[in-house]
A and B are shown apart, each in its own frame.
Chain A
Amino acid sequence: MTLAAVTWIAPVAGAVLGASILAPLVALWFLKLRRKRRAVPSNLLWVRSLADLRANAPFQRLRPNFLLLLQILAVLAIAFALAQPEAEGFGSTGGRHVVMIDRSASMNAVETGEAAGGEEGVTRLDLAKRAAKERVRQLLGGGWFSTNASDVMVIAFGSRAEIRAPFTDSIAALEGAIDGIKPSDESTRILEALELSRAFTANDRPDEVETALLADPPTIELYSDGRVEDLGSIALRTGERLVYHRVGEASSNLAVVAVSAERPPDAPDRIQVFAAVANPRTEPARATLQLAVNGTVRALTPEPIEIPAAVERDGQFIPGRAQVVFRPIEQAANAAIEVAVVEDDALRDDDAALAIVPPAKRLAVLHVGSGSFIVRTLLEGLPIERFASRPVSEFDDLVAKGELGAWDVIVLDGVAPKVLPAGRYLALGAPPPVEGLAPYGTHRGVYARIVRDEHPLFRSASLDELFVSQMTAVQVDKSFQVHAEAAEGPLVVSLDRADLHLVYVAFDPLDSNWPFQRSFVNFIANAVELLGRAGDAVTGRALAPGEAIAMRLPAGSRDGQIRLPDGSESKADIDKDGNLSYGPVRLAGLHRVSYLEPGRDERAERLVAVNIADAAEARIAPLENLSIGTKEVQGISVAESRRGALWPWVLALGLLVVLVEWWWYQRQIRL
C-alpha cells in the first residue's frame, strides 16, 4: 500500500495531535532535571532527612520555583488544548442538535472586512452555511478522543421552515443539505422551524412523549442575524437549549418599503408612482431614488432625499421613513414599475420595489337582474368599456357555455344564480350560492353599526345615514371579511377565494334609503373598481416573498413557466380550469409568468411583483443577544468562531511556555 492510497480523514487534527505530544516529549527530555552527581560520605542523613521532609510535610509547600511554575503552566495549557475547549455558549458536543439556518432577506446582506473574513461579496447566508458546516464537523467529528457523536438535523427557515436534513450523523448528508440552502427574500419567522424540530425531538416514542423530550433535549444551533419577527411570541420548552450564532456585522441599509402606481382617472394613459423609503439606522440618511419602467430608467429624484433616523418610541422601533412622489409618466401599456435606491448598501434585495400596472383598459360590466333601473342606470353611468344587462336565466346559460370570461365584473342585482363560477361579483340583496355564506331569515329596521371606513369600498361612502327596512340575515364563515354590520348581523361582506371575488350587500338597496344618498353611487363605483382590479387581471397586488403566485388564466391554458428575478426558469402548474399556481416565491423582484392560451401559438405573459417591503427585514444590524421569553441568549459571532477554536491558541501558548522554560533552564544551569 502506498501513501497515496491512504485517505487522511483529519490530517490537520492528526498533525496537531502529533505535534502536541511530540513537542512536550522532546521538551520534557530537555527539561529532565539533570542532577549533578556528588559523592558524599554517606547518604544516611540525606535519606533520613528526605523521609523526614516527606513525612512531616505531606502537603509540603511547593517551593517557589520558576521552572516548576512554567512546567505547570505548560502542562495545564496542553491539557486544556487537548480538551478542545470551545467558547462558552457553544453547548455540548454530544446529544441532539438542530442546526437552524436563517435564509430570510436580511441574510442576503453582503458582509465585508473582518466579518467576512477578508473576503469580498460574501453574504450572511454564505457565512452562516460555512459556520454551520464547521459546527457539524465539530459535532460529528467526535473530537480527538470522543466516541460520543451527535445527531444533527438541519432546518432552513424564512417565513416558512423547511427540513433540509432529518436527524443523522452523516457529515456528508448534512453538509449537502446545508450547501443546498438557497437564499430567499422572505421575512424571518422561527416558530415553524421550532415546531418542526420539536416534532422530531419530542415524538420519537409516542407512548413516552414526556420523557422523550426531557431525556434527550435538543440543542438548537441558530445561525441568524437575530432579526426574527416572531421572537417575542416564542418560548423555549424545558430542556431545550438555544445557541445563537450571530452572523454578520453590517448595518448600512435603506429599503424601499412601498411602491404604488395609479393611473389618474383623468389621464388613464399616465402612471403616477408613489414610493416610501425606510431608514432603519439611528442616523439620518440620504438617498437618490430612480424610477424604472419595464427595466428602463425613466426618472430620478432631482436631488437626494433626506430620510430621518429611526427612533425607539415606547419600546417600539420606528424606522425613519420618507415618501416620494414621482411626476406622472406617459405609459399606456402595462408596465412593471420599479423604484430603487441608487446608492449601494449591505442589502441590495430590498433596495427596489415593484408595482405592476395594467394597460389603460376600461372594464366590461355585466348586470344580471330583474330590471332594477336604479342599479342599472348607475352602472351605465360609470366610465366602463362595455356594459350589458341580462336576466338571471341568461346568466346561467353563459355559465353553462363558459362564456363569462368576457366580463370583468358581474353585478347580481337582487338575483341568485344557480351556481357561481370563478369571477368577480357584486351581489345585492339575494344571497349568492357560495360556500360559507348561509342565509337564515330576515331582519327588519336595521342601522349600520360598525363600518370599516378605511376600506376602499367605503371611500367617500359613509353609511351613517343608512336605514334598512329589511335585510337578509346571513351567517358567514371566516373566509369572508365583514366590512359593515348592523346589530343583527353583517350588512356588507366580501370574499376572495382563489379566483372568486365577491362583494355581497345583504339587503336590496330598494329596501333602504341608500339609493337616495350619494354614498350609494360611490359604493357601487368603488365596488366595481375594486372587483375589476381584483386578482391578477387588472393590477398585480405585489406579493411578499413566501407567498404563492395564484392566477386564473383562460381555461385550457397550458405550459406555464415562470422566469424568476435571478434569471432562472421554473415550471408552473396550470389545472384544467386554467388556475395557475406556483410557490411559495423565494425571491423579491419581477416574476414573469408565461403560458400558452388555447388556440394561440404565441406565449402570453403576465407580470407578478414580489417585494420585500418589510421594515423589519430592512433592519439588518445583527442583534447581539436574543431575548426569548425570559431568557437572554448570548450571541456568538461566527466571524470569531471561524477564526478558530480556542485550543490551537492554548496549545501554542503551552508550547511557547515550554520553550521559555527550556531557555530558562539552560540559563539556570549555565550559571
Chain B
Amino acid sequence: MSPAKQLRRLDDLLDSRLMSKLDAIDLMSRKIFSGKLQGERRSRRRGQSIEFADFRPYVHGDDLRFVDWNIFGRLDRLFLKMFLEEEDLSLVIAIDTSASMRAGDPDAFDYARRVAMALAYVGLVNQHRVSLVSFAEGRVERASNLRGRRKAAEVAQWLLALEPSGASGFEDAMRLVGTSRSGRGVMVVLSDFLFAEGFEKGLRMVAGRGFELFALQLLAPQIIDPAREGGVTGDLLLVDSETGTETEVTVTPELLRIYKERLDRLCGALRAYCQRRDITHMVVDTSTPVETLMLEYLRRRGLLR
C-alpha cells in the first residue's frame, strides 16, 4: 500500500481544475427549504421575489403591502399576493473522523475531506449556508454557517486540521446535529458506516427533521475486497484501528466469500434503511476520482445539478 499523499493545502483538497468545474453546478434539493438569509435559491416560503406564486385570503396581521388591490376592486375581498422568496440553503456536511476512516488507499478519511471540500465549495459559491461537522467518539467539532466563496479557505483549514481517532460515536454526533441545527437543508454524511453500535439510531436522530439526507458510504477498495493486491491474506492478527481489539483470522476463500456477503448485507441494510426514511444512500469506492463522484454520480443521484 503506497502512503497517501498528505493533505496540507486547499489545493490538496480541491484542485483548481475541479474547482472551476464545480463553479458551474449547484446543490439541488428535492425539497424547497426556507432559510434565514435571502439566498439564491427559491424557497417555498412566499416572499419578496418577483416570481408570483399564488393568492390567499387576507388575514389579520398580514402585510398590507402584498394585498392585491385589483382583485379587491373587482371582488371586494382582500387577497394577498404571494411571491416565491429566494432563500439560502443550509448544507450540513458530517464527516466521520473515527480511526476506521484512516484505512485503505486512498484512505477514506482523505477522500471524505476532499468530497467535503468539494461539496462545501459548491455550497459556498452558491451562497448557501454551509456547516461542517466532524464526529468521532466523544468529540464533535463544527464549523457553522459559512457562506460565500471567501470561506472556502476557512473550510479547507478546518478540514485539514481534522485528525481521525477513536471510535465513531455516530449516534451522539447525530443527536447533537439533529437537535442544534438551524434552518432546513441538505445534510451529507460522509462515513464508512462501519459502526459497532449500528447506524440506525444515529440516522434516526437526523432523519425526518427537515434535512434532505445523503448517506455517502465511503469504502476503501481494501475493505470492499480485502484480498486485493495481497491485502488481507494468510494467517493474520487483525487489529481493529478503533478499538484495538485483535482477531485471529486465517483468510480462506470461504471466509472471504462470507466477508463479502457480510459487507453486502451491511450495505444492503443501510440502503434499505435509507430508502424507508427517504435518505439517499450511496456506496462510494474511494478509488473513484472525486471529480467523477461530484460531476457524475452525485448529479445522477440528485444532490448536485
The chain A residues found within 8 Å of chain B, CB to CB, are 33-50, 52-53, 56-57, 60, 63
Q: Does B302 contact A (CB under 8 A)?
A: no
Contact between A37 and B237 (Cβ–Cβ < 8 Å)?
yes
Q: Which residue of B lies closest to A34 (CB)?
A: B235
Query: Per a CB cutoff under 8 Å, which of B102, B223, B239 touches A38?
Result: B239
Contact between A46 and B247 (Cβ–Cβ < 8 Å)?
yes
Query: 1/0 per residue B248-259: CB within 8 Å of A?
Result: 111010110011
Contact between B255 and A45 (Cβ–Cβ < 8 Å)?
no
> With A and B bound together, what is the CA distance between A568 and B235 in angstroms?
78
Query: Per a CB cutoff under 8 Å, which of B104, B249, B261 touches A41?
Result: B104
Query: 1/0 per residue B237-277: CB within 8 Å of A?
Result: 11111110111111010110011011100100000000000
A42-B240, A43-B245, A49-B255 known; A35+B232 contact, CB < 8 A? no
Contacts of A60 in B (CB 8 A): 254
Contacts of A56 in B (CB 8 A): 258
By Cβ-Cβ distance, the 5 closest A-B pairs, closest first, are A41-B103, A41-B100, A43-B240, A35-B237, A42-B194
Contact between A41 and B237 (Cβ–Cβ < 8 Å)?
no
The distance from the CB of B188 to the nearest CB of chain A, in whole angstroms, is 20
A35-B248, A50-B249 known; A45+B263 contact, CB < 8 A? yes
> With A and B bound together, what is the CA distance between A28 and B252 in angstroms?
23
Contact between B241 and A39 (Cβ–Cβ < 8 Å)?
yes
> With A and B bound together, what is the CA distance between A45 and B242 in angstroms?
13
Q: Does B140 contact A (CB under 8 A)?
A: no
Q: Which residue of A lies closest to B100 (CB)?
A: A41
The distance from the CB of B170 to the nearest CB of chain A, in whole angstroms, is 13
Q: Does B236 contact A (CB under 8 A)?
A: yes
> With A and B bound together, what is the CA distance between A37 and B250 in angstroms?
12
Contact between A40 and B237 (Cβ–Cβ < 8 Å)?
no
> Which residues of chain B from 80 to 126 have any CB-CB distance to chain A below 8 Å in the complex?
99-104, 108
Contact between B263 and A41 (Cβ–Cβ < 8 Å)?
no
Contact between B258 and A41 (Cβ–Cβ < 8 Å)?
no
Contacts of A34 in B (CB 8 A): 235
Contacts of A42 in B (CB 8 A): 100, 192, 194, 196, 240-242
Q: Does B234 contact A (CB under 8 A)?
A: yes
The distance from the CB of A59 to the nearest CB of chain B, in whole angstroms, is 13
**Sample (10) of A-B pairs whose CB atoms are under 8 Å apart:** A35-B237, A37-B246, A41-B101, A41-B223, A42-B242, A47-B247, A49-B258, A50-B255, A53-B258, A56-B258
Contacts of A37 in B (CB 8 A): 236-237, 239, 246
Q: Does B220 contact A (CB under 8 A)?
A: yes
Contact between B241 and A50 (Cβ–Cβ < 8 Å)?
no
> With A and B bound together, what is the CA distance between A265 and B241 in angstroms?
121
Contacts of B102 in A (CB 8 A): 41
> With A and B bound together, what is the CA distance between A52 and B254 in angstroms?
11
Contacts of B259 in A (CB 8 A): 45-46, 49
> With A and B bound together, what is the CA distance between A621 and B280 in angstroms?
96
Query: Per a CB cutoff under 8 Å, which of B101, B104, B194, B258 touches A44?
Result: B194
Contact between A53 and B237 (Cβ–Cβ < 8 Å)?
no
> With A and B bound together, what is the CA distance between A48 and B104 in angstroms?
20
The distance from the CB of A42 to the nearest CB of chain B, in whole angstroms, is 4
The distance from the CB of A19 to the nearest CB of chain B, in whole angstroms, is 29
Seed contacts A34-B235, A49-B261, A60-B254; 4 additional CB < 8 Å A-B pairs? A36-B237, A40-B232, A40-B240, A49-B262
> With A and B bound together, what is the CA distance between A151 and B114 in angstroms?
88
Q: Which residue of B lies closest to A45 (CB)?
A: B262
Contacts of A41 in B (CB 8 A): 99-104, 108, 192, 194, 220, 223, 241-242
Contacts of B195 in A (CB 8 A): 44
> With A and B bound together, what is the CA distance between A46 and B261 in angstroms?
11
The distance from the CB of B245 to the nearest CB of chain A, in whole angstroms, is 6
Contact between B103 and A48 (Cβ–Cβ < 8 Å)?
no
Contact between A38 and B238 (Cβ–Cβ < 8 Å)?
yes
Q: Which residue of A lies closest to B249 (CB)?
A: A46
The distance from the CB of A614 to the nearest CB of chain B, in whole angstroms, is 73
The distance from the CB of B44 to the nearest CB of chain A, in whole angstroms, is 41
Contact between B247 and A50 (Cβ–Cβ < 8 Å)?
yes
The distance from the CB of A661 to the nearest CB of chain B, in whole angstroms, is 15
> With A and B bound together, what is the CA distance between A39 and B243 in angstroms?
11
Query: Per a CB cutoff under 8 Å, which of A38, A40, A52 touches B262?
Result: A52
Most-contacted residue by chain B among A41, A45, A46 (CB, 10 A)? A41
Q: Which residue of A lies closest to B101 (CB)?
A: A41
A35-B248, A49-B255, A53-B255 known; A44+B196 contact, CB < 8 A? yes
Q: Which residue of A lies closest to B239 (CB)?
A: A39
> With A and B bound together, what is the CA distance between A372 and B50 in angstroms?
184
The distance from the CB of B196 to the nearest CB of chain A, in whole angstroms, is 6
> With A and B bound together, what is the CA distance between A48 and B269 in angstroms?
15
Q: Which residue of B lies closest to A60 (CB)?
A: B254
Query: Per a CB cutoff under 8 Å, which of B236, B239, B242, B252 touches A63?
Result: B252
> With A and B bound together, what is the CA distance between A39 and B248 in angstroms?
12
Contact between A45 and B240 (Cβ–Cβ < 8 Å)?
no
> With A and B bound together, what is the CA distance between A50 and B243 in angstroms?
18
Contact between A38 and B242 (Cβ–Cβ < 8 Å)?
no
Most-contacted residue by chain B among A42, A47, A52, A56 (CB, 10 A)? A42
The distance from the CB of A105 to the nearest CB of chain B, in whole angstroms, is 69
